[in-house]
Amino acid sequence: MDDASLLDLRKFLAPETVFGAGAAGLVGRYAQNLGARKALLVTDPGVLAQPWFADILQNIAETGLGVELFTQVHANPRDSEVMHGAEIYRATGCDAIVAVGGGSPMDCAKGIGIVCTNDRNVLEFEGVDNVEHPGPPLICVPTTAGSSADVSQFAIINDTARKVKIAIVSKAMVPDIALIDPLLTLSMPRELTANTGVDALTHAVEAYVSNAHGPTTDLFALEAMRRIAKHLPRAITHPDDETARAGMMLGSMYAGLAFSNAILGAVHAMAHSLGGLMDLPHGQCNAMLLDHVIDYNFDAAPERYADIAVALGASLSPQASQAEKRAAVLGQVRALKAAVGITAGLASLGVRDEDLDGLTTFAMHDPCMVTNPKPPTAGEIRAVFEHAL
């Protein structure tokens, strides 16, 4: 980190967090602390089927709080789902929201909250700082180590009419409480562990090279990378290893705190385009794009990418050339992807050359592109998509 950046004005926003085994069992107590009487519990069918989900429901019930379940959330949460959830929230007299799940239920819950307090369609909040009134009290209980929606000021919603994911970025989107329990991730299947793990890595990498980075976000981003490099392969090969799961959950949290404040870059802009136009899994898209965007961006921030290479385990001498630094960071990222089984390209998801113009158009208008270290042209972004096929 260069000393000149120490003088730049930066803010840092984070929710109250409780991290560790058993944190999920505190949801009822924290809902009470926030003055709730009845909570809308937002989740998805996959989480609903987990054996530990009943314990969360029981924990809330034991405090005397009412609960209304809302489980109609897709992997890429849709505007219609947010609006339906808001109708249920109002109709059933809820005064708080609890989100249990990965990024999709948490983003949907954030959208439901601001729709209810502002009485507007969720799509009207697209962009930065467009939320006039914060939502009701929100508690997030993440069940994947990757999205970091539990600590971020982002909500990503699928605009189904335009077939594009919109980003809502506002401090009003930061949850009141994040209850981060690594034991909930023990049930994650291998592919989800890999994709969300590289998603967390992408958050850290993009935050570190963002043109809005600062000393605090740098600290969290680098430590996130170190933990992910150490713990993700072990979480894949030994899914019951609680230490590896906790290391990944902590790495994900650190990455979330970094990107929530430094914002992101071209990887996420392109992944949002893929997810909106083609309804593809967000984490998987990020994983397939990451090294290709690093290769494109490298010349704009070579020393920062060298720092990333070292954080991921590379040995670089002070006299290393730019070519050696590029090779080191690409080598470390690609080796980690290979170690967790991510070797295919976008074509394996059904992306075709004829899709690239539309994908490029949407990506160029994504707000995450603003903080990419290199201002891209449409032709350059299309070329990155093509290389990632």
Determine the Cα angle at 284 with ends 279 and 289, to 5°. 105
Phi, psi of 279 (to 5 degrees): 55, 45
What distance in Å separates the CA atoms of residue 109 and residue 99, rounded to the nearest whole number? 6
pLDDT over 90 (residue 5): no
The candidate with the shortest Cα–Cα distance to 363, out of 165, 169, 201, 156, is: 165
Band of pLDDT at residue 279, cut at 50, 70 and 90: confident
Question: Between the CA of residue 265 and those of 115, 202, 349, 368, what are the distances in Å?
Answer: 27, 9, 22, 5
- CB atoms inside a 10 Å sphere around CB 201: 29
User: Edge to edge, what strands does the sheet with 96-101 contain?
Assistant: 16-19, 177-180, 138-142, 96-101, 38-42, 66-70
pLDDT at 92 > cutoff 80: yes
Query: How confident is the model over 185-197, as a mean pLDDT?
Result: 95
- What proportion of the chain, given as a percentage, has pLDDT over 70? 99
How far apart CA 197 and CA 228 sit, in angstroms, is 7
Mean pLDDT of the residues in the chain: 95
Express each pLDDT in 294-321 by its tens digit. 999 999 999 999 999 999 999 999 899 9
Q: What is the DSSP string of 324-382?
A: HHHHHHHHHHHHHHHHTT----GGGGT--GGGHHHHHHHHHTSGGGGGSSS---HHHHH
Percent of the chain with pLDDT over 90: 94
Distance between CA atoms of residues 366 and 109, nearest Å: 22
Q: pLDDT band for position 278 (50/70/90)?
A: confident
What does the pLDDT look like over 25-69, one tens digit per residue?
999 999 999 999 999 999 999 999 999 999 999 999 999 999 999
Q: What is the pLDDT of residues 197-220, one digit of tens each?
A: 999 999 999 999 999 999 999 999
- For residue 195, what pLDDT is reported? 95
pLDDT digits (tens, 9 = 90+) for 222-261: 999 999 999 999 999 999 999 999 999 999 999 999 999 9
Q: Name the token pair of 43.
A: 């989740």
Q: Tens digit of pLDDT for each residue in 130-157? A: 999 999 999 999 999 999 999 999 999 9
pLDDT at 7: 82
Residues 6+ apart with CB under 8 A from 73: 42, 43, 44, 81, 101, 104, 105, 108
Q: Which domains occur in the chain, in start order?
A: 16-185 (3.40.50.1970), 188-388 (1.20.1090.10)
The pairs formed by 61-64 with CB atoms below 8 angstroms and a separation of 24 or more are 61/28, 62/28, 63/28, 63/29, 63/31, 63/32
Separation of alpha carbons 286 and 289, rounded Å = 5
Please name the residue that has the structure tokens 């069940």: 143
325-341: pLDDT as tens digits? 999 999 999 999 999 99
Q: What token pair was written down for 274?
A: 């893929």
Whole-structure pTM value:
0.95
Region 339-349: mean pLDDT is 95
Residue 4's pLDDT is: 52
Give yes or no for residue 2 having a pLDDT over 70.
no
